[in-house]
Amino acid sequence: MNGPLDGIVVLDLTRVLSGPHATMMLADLGARVIKVEQPGTGDETRQWGPPFATAPGREDVDPGVSTYFLSCNRNKESITLDLKSEEGKETLVRLIRHADVLAENFRTGVLDRLGFSFERMHEINPALVILSISGFGHDGPEGGRPGYDAIVQGEAGIMSVTGPAPDQPTKMGLSICDILAGVNGAYGIVAALYERTRTGRGRVVRTSLLASVVGAHAYQATRWTVAGEVPQAMGNDHPSIAPYGSYRCADGLIQVGVANQGLWRRFAPVVAIDPDDPRFTTGADRSRNRGELGVLIEKALATETREHWLARLAEAGVPAGAIRSIDEVYEWDQTRSQGLVVDVEHPQLGRIELPGPSLRFEGAPPREHTAPPTLGQHTDDVLAWLDEVD
């Protein structure tokens, strides 16, 4: 698989979403990712559903293929190893010896009990970069505590600033803690691989769902740490900018982002508001009087359709957009033009479409992607490779 990480071998001992997302990002960049799975069951997300997918005419297959698993395991190989058996442990030692990266998101201490502490892995291969993802961090007063995305969304403050009102904390519709941890993990691995070019040694890279969310708080964090203000959920409004959010037209909602004074002076006349109205003259004025401002905006927008207002706002150079459903996003020409939908040939399902990678490299031709593997699909191939390189 050609790419910036061509030649890098990654052992993927992760499961569920955070770790698999990190290793999928490396696979997208050209690394060879070998997913090590438990015989018989594999990554538990193989059983997560519905929905499960079946090939046309094979709807009798029970239960089919988990669409959850398909979302985060493209461009990988799968090998099954029983890490509690001597044979499985011996094979893992061989894999570690020839790998550049090992990624894991086991509960703290699991690998130690299996005989694969980080110290031992570095004895086997001093150049190995190890990524360890945890829920709340590997140390500290709650180190080693298990963390699923929904739990961390509550603990890390996301739910307190999401939802229609402060008394209705709401979980995001995406597994954002897992995804952020995966992105941070991949970022840490690439940095450690670069460092290895100078030192010749690998190191342990750690991140957690908690750390990844707190690191993404941005202005919501400094509202508290600097200004002493506790952020609260306020629906689709922005705490520091107005108008910036959702507004109702005759046939539904649109999003509008008036983030500076120049945009305000272009936007106000479109919705029949005097830009010099003293209630709304500055950004701070508009934020303080956002309720009155929203009423006036929706009074104007109620007279026409979303399509009408999106055209008017585009003509005025004001950022605005529709609120699309997931199916509309994947049917959108702009999504497809960015390589965000890829075709792969799955051994059970045939030709399917998957969400594509977020990065493109100028001058590089579009790459061919491979489908997420079936359980143990590449065991024989990987063992044959080990026989060649040992």
Which residues does the annotation mark as catalytic? 178
| Interatomic CA distance for residues 58 and 70, integer angstroms | 18
Between the alpha carbon of residue 107 and those of residues 14, 88, 112, the distances in Å are: 11, 20, 10
Q: Is 374 exposed, middle or buried (0-12, 13-18, 19+ CB in 10 A)?
A: middle
Closest CA relative to residue 231, chosen from 128, 156, 150, 152:
156
Q: Is 54 exposed, middle or buried (0-12, 13-18, 19+ CB in 10 A)?
A: middle
Between the alpha carbon of residue 264 and those of residues 58, 247, 273, 321, the distances in Å are: 56, 16, 10, 17
> What residues have CB less than 8 Å from 223, skipping those under 6 apart?
229, 230, 231, 239
Closest CA relative to residue 191, chosen from 172, 173, 170, 207:
207
Closest CA relative to residue 371, chosen from 130, 147, 141, 70:
70
* Residue 228 one-letter amino acid: G
Between the alpha carbon of residue 9 and those of residues 62, 87, 316, the distances in Å are: 34, 21, 51
* Residue 69 one-letter amino acid: F
